[in-house]
């Protein structure tokens, strides 16, 4: 790997955080969707328990990723990006970080308002936050949580389309900036 390639790629730590969070978010979305679609209440409750535990995992991974990002230099955006692409890329990343913290926190707060603890995959229990009990408010927060989760999935779709555009249409190796293999734009020149 050339020095130019190394500078145009994200660090290995950033790659690990990125892909772990991406897989966890998509998996967690499917858990919630499946839980709501099932007619078996016990199975739905078990899926939601896993959804909550995975949400806490996503929160922890996101806080780790933010710490990593604050202590490791980002590669610059490729020079061929138009101004609108730069603004969209940076804005999308900022919204991702906000949602990756806000969604799990909102779920935890709503759960806590119902007086419920979170079972972390049967390993230990995460206590309810000290927010008191208010089932109506908790339900409202869960509704916002679900809507915002759908927005996150649409944002992931936009992110994937952008990576594919840069990789296959612009041919600047966009997706390979977040992978330890493949040709990044700097290698092509």
Give the model confidence (pLDDT) of 38-72 as tens digits. Answer: 999 999 999 999 999 999 999 999 999 999 999 99
Q: What's the pLDDT score for residue 186? A: 44
How many angstroms separate the CA atoms of 95 and 177, rounded? 20
- Give 6's pLDDT tier (boundaries 50, 70, 90): low
Distances (CA, A) of 178 to 9, 17, 61, 170: 6, 10, 17, 16
Q: Is the predicted pLDDT of residue 187 greater than 60, yes or no?
A: no
What is the per-residue pLDDT for 170? 86
Q: What is the mean pLDDT of the chain?
A: 92
Q: Which domains does the chain have, with CATH numbers?
A: 3-188 (1.20.950)
The distance from CA 23 to its chain's CA centroid, rounded to whole angstroms, is 8
pLDDT in tens, 83-110: 999 999 999 999 999 999 999 999 999 9
The pLDDT of residue 1: 46
Q: What mean pLDDT is predicted for residues 144-157?
A: 96
Of all residues in the chain, what percent carry a pLDDT higher than 90? Answer: 78
User: What does the chain look like in DSSP terms, one character per residue?
Assistant: --HHHHHHSPPHHHHHHHHHHHHHHHHHHHHHHHHHH-S-HHHHHHHHHHHHHHHHHHHHHHHHHHHHHHHSPPPPPPTT--HHHHHHHHHHHHHHHHHHHHHHHHHHHHHHHTT--EEETTTEEEPPPSS---HHHHHHHHHHHHHHHHHHHHHHHHHHHHHHIIIIIS-S-GGGGGSSSS--HHHH-
More confident residue, 172 or 18: 18
């Amino acid at each position: 790997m050339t020095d130019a390639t190394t500078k145009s790629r994200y660090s290995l730590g950033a790659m690990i955080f990125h892909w772990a969070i991406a897989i966890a978010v998509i998996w967690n979305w499917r858990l919630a969707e499946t839980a709501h679609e099932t007619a078996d209440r016990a199975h739905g409750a078990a899926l939601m328990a896993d959804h909550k535990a995975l949400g806490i995992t996503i929160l922890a991974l996101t806080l780790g990723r933010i710490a990593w990002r604050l202590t490791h230099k980002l590669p610059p955006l490729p020079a061929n990006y138009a101004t609108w692409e730069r603004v969209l890329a940076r804005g999308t990343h900022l919204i991702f970080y906000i949602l990756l913290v806000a969604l799990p926190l909102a779920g935890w707060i709503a759960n806590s308002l119902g007086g419920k603890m979170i079972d972390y995959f049967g390993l230990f229990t995460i206590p309810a936050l000290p927010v008191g009990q208010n089932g109506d408010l908790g339900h409202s927060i869960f509704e916002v949580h679900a809507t915002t989760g759908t927005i996150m999935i649409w944002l992931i779709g936009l992110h994937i389309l952008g990576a594919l555009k840069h990789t296959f249409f612009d041919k600047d190796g966009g997706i390979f900036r977040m992978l330890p293999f493949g040709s990044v734009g700097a290698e092509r020149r």
